[in-house]
Structures are given as structure tokens and as C-alpha cells.
Amino acid sequence: MTDTPADDADLAWAETPGRLSALIFQAKVAVFQARRLALDLVGRLQRLDPGPAPADWVIVGQSCTPLWSDDRSREHRHQRGKVENLRRAAVAIGQGTLPAGRVFSFWRHVGRASRRRGFVDGRMLKGGRLVPAIGGGLCQMSNGLYDAALQAGCDIVERHGHSRIVPGSAAGHGQDATVAWNYVDLRFKSASPMHLEVMLETELLVVRFRAPAPQTATRPITSPAPPAAA
């Protein structure tokens, strides 16, 4: 017999939305996606300049979070999916330099999480519910980038908090940054050049920022979230 989310207090709100609410949600998403696409075509976002950091640059921000955060057997498939999604996103971002004043965009670097690109099912927040979805788990990476960017003193251009707080997550400390293709993004910039590196170690997701000199940390901010945000 397969347990349902309602059988577990920790997953009591992990459910599939009804058909009507799902259709309304998708309609809102389509509107916001079209608007964001139009704005980005004008803004011409750029990627990192690829390559290693100069040898004398110092670490100014770092986030290390466990890849495996739920050992329940029924969540193992979604945990494996999350790790695979993080692996593909880490490859997409890679490592490189963010020149002074250039805006870093999570979605400009990661791109759309689709099965065609190798992304798989993982857990994600959607419309206030925890549901399985392609690319689920990528918010762990956006959380890490946001945390490291704050430590490094970056100017946070856009950041959205999650619609619900998952027990034990960064949202409980206001350090989260949700993302949803392609209308809810994480964006930041720096007054000085920064080198970014994202990688998966055996048990950890590591996000590391380097700069020519130590920076002054910034405070968390929250951008107004679209009604259809995660």
C-alpha cells in the first residue's frame, strides 16, 4: 500500500491542485512569462565570463547545503530527482566572472528545466502546495546563490520569498529565494567584479563567490511576488 501525503504530517500540504485551480494558475503564469520575456529581450541579459578566478582573489561568500535532506523511502525518488536537477543546473552555471555592474539572472544561466534537457521530477512549491514537477529542487540552488550574494555584499535586484515555509528550509530564516521559469527570478549585481562557482560535491551543493577584496555584507530583501509565484 502506498502512503498518501495526508498520512504524514510533514507532507500534509503536499498535494496535487484541482483541475480548475491548475488552469487558473497556468493562465496567470502564461501572462507573467510573456511579460518577462518581452522585458528580457530589451534588457539583453548576459552570462558570466567563463574561466577560473584569479589566484589572489579571496572568498567573500559561500553556501554549503546538504544534497540529501529527506531520508523517507517514499521521497527517495524525488530526492534523487532533485540532486540530478541541481547537477544539471550547476553545469549550466559553471564558473565565471560577473563584471562590475552586470546583472546575474538565475534563469539566464540555467535555462528552462525540461525533460528534453535532462531535468527530472523533484519536489517544488507551486501555488502554495508541495508537488512533484520537472526541475523540482532548483530553489536549493537559488537559495544558495542568494545567501552567498548577501555575504558578498551584492546589490539584490530581484528576489522573491516562497509562498510557504517548508520545515527546516532557508525560508524559515528569510534566506530563501524562490524561482519559477521564467517570470520569478533571482537577480543581483555587484559594484566590483565577482567570480562565481557552483558545484556538487559528494554530499553538498557548494556556491562560492570570490572577489579582489573582502566586501560588506548586505541585508535580505524581498521583491513583490507575482500572484502566480511559487
Q: Which residue has the cell 532533485?
A: 82
pLDDT attached to residue 1: 34
Closest CA to 178 of 141, 227, 219, 135: 141
- What per-residue confidence (pLDDT) applies to 146? 97
- pLDDT (average), residues 30-50: 73
Q: What pLDDT does 6 receive?
A: 41
**Cell triple for 176:** 530563501
Tell me the three state secondary structure of residue 60.
Answer: strand
In whole numbers, what is the pLDDT of the chain averaged over residues? 81
Per-residue pLDDT of 109-129, as tens digits, reads 999 999 999 999 998 876 667
Q: Considering only residues 147 and 40, tell me which one the structure prediction assigns the higher pLDDT.
A: 147
The alpha carbon of 47 is separated from its chain's Cα centroid by a whole number of angstroms, namely: 16
Residue 155 sits at φ, ψ, to 5 deg, of -85, 115
For residue 91, what pLDDT is reported? 97
- What is the per-residue pLDDT across 170-228, written as a single tens digit (0 to 9) for each? 544 567 899 988 889 999 999 999 999 999 999 999 999 999 988 788 877 665 555 45
In this prediction the pTM is 0.78
